[in-house]
Amino acid sequence: MDNHLDHMPILSRGRHRNPKRGACFMELASYLAGERWSDHPGCTHPLLAALARLVNDNTGDESRNKLVHLVPSIIGLTSDDLRVDAQIALRCATAALPVAAAERQLALAVSVLAAEEMLARLDGAPSGRMSELSTRAMAQVPHAAEQAHKFSRAARITEKGFRRYAAPNAVQLSVVGIVQACIPDPDRLLRGLLEDAIADCQAMIKKPAEFSPTDSPQAVI
């Protein structure tokens, strides 16, 4: 861990009035970015910040400080490109889908398809394009995947609706699905999800022309 983080406020759940009372992930980011103390700083993409807050608040006390080293990497990652929202939503939904309880799988599978549809639309690609990341996740829940395809054929979400509702709902549902999953270490999966989402955003925002998700090398129609 960087030395300049050694004396920072201890990460804890929720909002804090000032650093003396502790900090959540995004409050610490606002502090390091030199912004006004806030858990909604302008230095980070709103959906990525929402994911960071959810991971912070749903990670156990013993594991939360393992998130501290990620805080500097989230500063400056902001963009109006809707592809960023879609990729964050896709990363979250594909991470949660294979481990979530059965009753959450349909909604998560629909979130995967909605994110893929939005990415395809924004790229000018054919509807129905599926990345390898999504293909692998959907293959692990074939019944939910089949139902999601039937449901999604009748739905065509607008770009505004995706940004305001579908993408944030996908992130929220994914974190809850991981937290409540019957897996040995949900904290580790949450941390890995945040790491992957940050890496996706770094690739898209800093090098948009070169962006290619590590787990999504080819489109599958």
Task: State which of 18, 45, 74 marks the end of a domain.
Answer: 74
Per-residue model confidence (pLDDT) at position 19: 60
The whole domain housing 28 covers 3-74
Residue finishing a domain among 74, 103, 133: 74
Structural domains of the chain, count? 2
Compute CA distances 175 → 67, 81, 219, whole Å: 15, 23, 26
DSSP structural state of residue 218: S
The residue from 53, 74, 95 where one domain ends is 74
pLDDT at res. 16: 59
CA angle 170, 216, 104 (to 5 degrees): 25
Reported as a single tens digit per residue, the pLDDT across 112-152 is: 999 999 999 999 999 889 999 999 999 999 999 999 999 87
On the question of pLDDT at 203 being above 90, the answer is yes
Q: How far apart are CA 47 and CA 41, in angstroms?
A: 12
Distances (CA, A) of 38 to 18, 49, 61, 155, 210: 9, 11, 21, 37, 32
Statement to judge: residues 63 and 129 lie in one domain:
no
Q: What pLDDT is recorded for position 119?
A: 96
How confident is residue 155, by pLDDT bands cut at 50, 70 and 90? low
| Residue 220 pLDDT > 60 | no
More confident residue, 25 or 98: 98
pLDDT at 207 (0 to 100): 44
Residues 100, 11: one domain?
no
pTM of the model: 0.86
**Do 64 and 107 share a domain, yes or no?**
no
Given this model, what pLDDT does residue 37 score? 85
